[in-house]
């Protein structure tokens, strides 16, 4: 427990917020990160995201509350998170990246912290703005997204010891690898279900004849 949730480990994501370069370097080389904390941050992000969709004020929010299912969204966010990490890992493995899978998970998870921190205040503030003051709300959101984007970029760059150009290339390749993974998984499921169907049919046939 101590290894994952010590006071220093819990504080570290906040250190990374303001010192991404040093923070990510030490995350890779001095074991300052913690995978469970990263996963918790991701879950928190998903929670904040759902809350924003449900509770943001009517003025800025056009989402049908009936269409929001926070458990579904948690699953979606987690799946996407995992997919991104696997995709990035498989690309960087081939491109001489120094980061381990664990580092990718922690760096991406920690990078979501600005979103967690901005979505909730934005949701609260949305309750106090009129239509012509929406800009405040969107400013906070854009700020959070931009911060997260910068953190992800720097995180990937530093843990793999890449140049900026190479990072951008890997990110694009990561995107494609994610698509390929989705494609292959779907194909696999289809194939498996057909195999299953075949044996099922054989079983039914045998039972009916016997």
Partner 1 sequence: MKLKKQTRIAVIITTLIFCMMFGNVTALANDHVPYDTYNYDYRDYIVHTPAAYVPDHSISGVSFGMKAFNNPQDLCIAPDGLVYIADTNNNKIVVLNDTMTKLVRVITEFNNNGTTDHFNRPYGIAISKKNELYIADSENKRIVVLNSEDQLIKIVDNPQSDVLEAGYVFTPLKVTVDYADRIFCIAKGMTEGIMVFDSDGQFTSFFGTIKVEITLWEKFWRRLSTKKERSRQSLFIPTEFTGIDIDEKGFIFASNIDNAGEQAVRRLNPSGEDVIKKGVKKNVGGDLRTGGMNSYAGPSKIVDVVYRNNGIYSILDSRRGRIFTYDYEGNLLYIFGGLGSQAGTFVAPVAIESSNNMILVLDSTRAEILVFQATEYGTLINDAVALRFDGDESLAVEKWEQVLKLDENFEIANVGIGKAYLSKGDNKLAMKYLKLGMSREYYSIAYKRYRNEILKQNLSFLLTGIVVILAGTMITKSIIRKRKNIVDNTDGGGLE
- Which residues contact partner 1 (rule: CB under 8 A)? 58-59, 64, 128, 130-132
| Residue 132 vs 209, nearer CB to partner 1 | 132
The least distance separating partner 1 from the CB of residue 102, rounded to whole angstroms, comes to 43
Cβ–Cβ under 8 Å, residues 126 and 48: no
Range list of H helices, the chain: 2-5, 7-18, 20-29, 35-55, 70-94, 101-111, 113-126, 134-159, 164-209
The least distance separating partner 1 from the CB of residue 128, rounded to whole angstroms, comes to 7
| Residue 65 vs 210, nearer CB to partner 1 | 65
| Residue 127 vs 197, nearer CB to partner 1 | 127
| Residue 83 vs 129, nearer CB to partner 1 | 129
| Residue 59 vs 86, nearer CB to partner 1 | 59
Mention every residue, 6+ apart, whose C-beta is less than 8 A from residue 95.
160, 166, 170, 173
Cβ–Cβ under 8 Å, residues 174 and 152: no
The least distance separating partner 1 from the CB of residue 123, rounded to whole angstroms, comes to 16
Q: CA-CA distance, 200 to 120, in Å (whole number)?
A: 50
The least distance separating partner 1 from the CB of residue 56, rounded to whole angstroms, comes to 13
Cβ–Cβ under 8 Å, residues 149 and 167: no
The least distance separating partner 1 from the CB of residue 130, rounded to whole angstroms, comes to 4
Q: CA-CA distance, 100 to 86, in Å (whole number)?
A: 11
* Among the listed residues 18, 46, 25, the one whose alpha carbon sits nearest the alpha carbon of residue 112: 46
The least distance separating partner 1 from the CB of residue 122, rounded to whole angstroms, comes to 17
| Residue 59 vs 120, nearer CB to partner 1 | 59
Q: Please calculate the CA angle 203-205-210 and round it to the nearest 5 degrees.
A: 95
């Amino acid at each position: 427990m101590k290894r994952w949730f010590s006071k220093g480990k819990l504080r570290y994501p906040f250190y990374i917020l303001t010192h991404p370069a040093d923070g990510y370097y030490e995350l890779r080389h001095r074991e300052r990160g913690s995978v469970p904390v990263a996963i918790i941050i991701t879950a928190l992000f998903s929670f904040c995201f759902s809350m924003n969709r449900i509770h943001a004020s009517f003025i800025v929010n056009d989402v049908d509350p009936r269409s929001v299912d926070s458990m579904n969204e948690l699953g979606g966010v987690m799946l996407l998170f995992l997919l991104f990490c696997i995709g990035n890992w498989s690309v960087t493995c081939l491109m001489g990246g120094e980061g381990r899978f664990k580092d990718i998970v922690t760096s991406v998870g920690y990078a979501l912290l600005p979103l967690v921190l901005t979505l909730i205040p934005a949701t609260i503030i949305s309750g106090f703005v009129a239509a012509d003051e929406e800009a405040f709300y969107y400013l906070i959101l854009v700020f959070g997204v931009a911060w997260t984007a910068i953190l992800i970029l720097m995180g990937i760059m530093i843990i793999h010891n890449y140049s900026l150009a190479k990072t951008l290339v890997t990110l694009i390749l990561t995107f494609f690898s994610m698509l390929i993974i989705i494609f292959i998984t779907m194909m696999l499921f289809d194939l498996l279900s057909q195999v299953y169907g075949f044996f099922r049919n054989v079983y039914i046939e045998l039972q009916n004849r016997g």
